[in-house]
Structure 1
């Protein structure tokens, strides 16, 4: 009997239990749902020579920032697949190995080629997608469009009720500016499998980008209690709710959400999420005119000090610079900016000059040198997309430019930027700021 994965592709295992656990484990992994690790471990316990089960477990270790464990597990998968794997399985394991080894450009190239041959191999198809996927962190200026193109190219291979594909297809459209289609698709994905943190996350993005922030807050309030706090997206999804409260000017509510779900001492999130969520929330809170309670910036800095010390991961570099600027560590910001400039000169930073520019602009903003901040950011504003992440996350940089323009007396430029934002996504905060400028 040939065992198949959840999308009908053959698996090199003779164990019914191993195949069943692998199917369930991958679905849990792609739902960012608790239990994936244990389920995948049961798969290779039932068949120690099941390469793809080892590879999927390696992927989960990598997601959880456990590099040594990821490397050991993928090495096991590579050894097994070399002697008993199919062509698809060998390609599958090699691509995950490249991603785990930090060879992102090669992993992306191979993942796209793999999808052309085996589009229903969804663990590999998932790698280029999402706000933290290989496309987003490629340094490309058009990575949002690239994700849409990839999904549309292979849509014919998926059923209309494939919860995973519908969700990621919808999220790709949301991030590429089509919030109406994106919301319809992500809502369908959520309805098909609501025990899916990626679907709740994608749908909250769709609501936010369509100007329905209160809908997103209601969704999160209803859904989050179902998601165990050990889930790695628990704090980040709560972060979206905190942003909604800030949009409405309810700093007390936003801070309560931060204290309960987001701050480093209470979240089980991935380090990249914890660093970016804490930095961006506290920065917004302060920039919007609210008081950051004593100790919160210091706690964020203490946590961040354990991660991303080496420059070169553009999305993390920006948020590390925000934290350093906020606590007055000018030397740390400048050292990171200089290191990033060196990487650019060596051709080793795909995102390019926008990254050190944002770092220096953050320092100027923290110093209340708003004219200098605007001078730095204006020329590179269209390149901010290169740092990756989602539109909601990158909006912080646009906020920085907007507030710098307002506070340095550049009212015309600020009004023009606000008008574009309000056309793209109506928000209470921008409406308020537009009114202030018109007064």
Structure 2
């Protein structure tokens, strides 16, 4: 008897229990929900020769930045699928293996080809999507559009009530500027499965991009208490709430949220989120004119030392440079920039020159050389999208340029940028800054 996954694709397992736990585990993985690892381990216990269960477990290790464990698990999946697997399963494992081994460009190419043949293989289709997906970290300037194109190409293969596809299709549209449509799709996905951190996160993004800051804060306040703190997106979703508090001019509440949910000592988030969320929150707090309590920058620096030591992941690079600049470690910024330049010369840093430029601009800003920051950052401002992440995360670099304009006396340029931002998305903070300019 053939067993199937949750989207009707056949599975090479003889165990009903293993197949059932695999279906549940994949849905938990795609929801960023706690216990996915335990459920997938249950699938493996029920059928130790179930290659896709080992592959999914490898994916979870990779998400957690547990590289050695991920490589061991995917190697087991490769060995099993070579002797007991279908063409689809062998391709599935091969794509994940490429991604886990750091061959991102090849993984993206293979994932897209795989999706053309098996579009309902959602674990593989998920790889190019999201703020930290293969498209976002490809160095492409048009990765927002690429995600939309991928979702629309395969939309006909999914049911109208597929909560996972609705979530990622909606998020892709909202990030690409079609905010109302994206929010409607994401809202439907969220309504179908509320125990889905990716949907809550995507919906808060759509609200943010539409200027509905109060709605986003209410959503998070209502939803987050039902999400266990062990969930990998718990701290990051709280980060959105902290930014909302800063937006309305309440740094005390923002710091309370940071202390309770975001700082490294309390969060169970993915390292890339912890490094970027701590760096960007503390930078915003200080840049917006508030005091960063003693020790917080040092705590962020101590945590970041354990991850992304080597330059090459653009998104992590710029946030590690922010931390180094804020803590006065000029040598660390300069060393990272030097390595980045070497990688660019070797064709190995796909995001290109914008990455060292942001790092150097962050150092100039920290040293209060605002004219220097403008000189470095303004020419590459349109290329910041290449570092990946979401629009909300990259907005910090635009804030840096805007504040550097204001503090270096470039009032006209600051006004032009503020006008564009206010037209794109209403913001209480931008309105306050606009009032300061015209006063």
Runs of 4+ more than 6 Å apart:
none
Alignment of 1:228-247 (within 5 A): 228-247=228-247
Q: Which residue of 2 aligns with 1:86?
A: 86
Q: Which residue of 2 aligns with 1:285?
A: 285
**Cα deviations by residue, 1:58-91 (Å, 9 ceiling, x for unpaired):** 0001101111111111111000000010000000
Offset at residue 435 of structure 1 (A): 1.0
1: CA distance, partners of 2:342 / 2:2: 53
Query: Is 1:179 aligned to 2:168, yes or no?
Result: no
2: CA distance, partners of 1:215 / 1:189: 17
Q: Which residue of 2 aligns with 1:2?
A: 2
2: CA distance, partners of 1:158 / 1:306: 40
SS of 2:389's equivalent?
A: coil
**Paired residues, what number?**
439
Q: Which residue of 1 aligns with 2:11?
A: 11
Alignment of 1:315-394 (within 5 A): 315-394=315-394
Q: Which residue of 1 aligns with 2:77?
A: 77
Q: Which residue of 2 aligns with 1:110?
A: 110
2: CA distance, partners of 1:413 / 1:315: 27
Offset at residue 178 of structure 1 (A): 1.1
SS of 2:382's equivalent?
A: helix
**Cα deviations by residue, 1:133-158 (Å, 9 ceiling, x for unpaired):** 00000000000000000000000000
Alignment of 1:14-413 (within 5 A): 14-413=14-413
2: CA distance, partners of 1:222 / 1:18: 35
Offset at residue 4 of structure 1 (A): 0.5
2: CA distance, partners of 1:113 / 1:422: 40
Query: Is 1:419 aligned to 2:419, yes or no?
Result: yes
2: CA distance, partners of 1:345 / 1:19: 48
SS of 1:129's equivalent?
A: coil
Q: Which residue of 2 aligns with 1:434?
A: 434
Offset at residue 362 of structure 1 (A): 0.3
1: CA distance, partners of 2:434 / 2:147: 33
**Cα deviations by residue, 1:173-196 (Å, 9 ceiling, x for unpaired):** 011011111111111110010000
**Cα deviations by residue, 1:383-404 (Å, 9 ceiling, x for unpaired):** 0000000000000000000000
Question: 5+ unaligned residues in a row in structure 1: which ranges?
Answer: none
1: CA distance, partners of 2:114 / 2:28: 22
**Cα deviations by residue, 1:337-366 (Å, 9 ceiling, x for unpaired):** 111011111111000000000000000000
**Cα deviations by residue, 1:303-352 (Å, 9 ceiling, x for unpaired):** 01111110111000000000000000010011111110111111110000
SS of 1:312's equivalent?
A: coil
2: CA distance, partners of 1:70 / 1:227: 25
1: CA distance, partners of 2:343 / 2:100: 21
**Cα deviations by residue, 1:261-281 (Å, 9 ceiling, x for unpaired):** 000000000110000000000
**Cα deviations by residue, 1:1-38 (Å, 9 ceiling, x for unpaired):** 11000000000011000000000000000000001001
TM-score of the aligned structures, taking structure 1 as reference length: 1.00
TM-score of the aligned structures, taking structure 2 as reference length: 1.00
1: CA distance, partners of 2:54 / 2:181: 37
2: CA distance, partners of 1:312 / 1:12: 37
2: CA distance, partners of 1:311 / 1:18: 40
Question: 5+ unaligned residues in a row in structure 2: which ranges?
Answer: none
Offset at residue 300 of structure 1 (A): 0.4
2: CA distance, partners of 1:307 / 1:199: 27
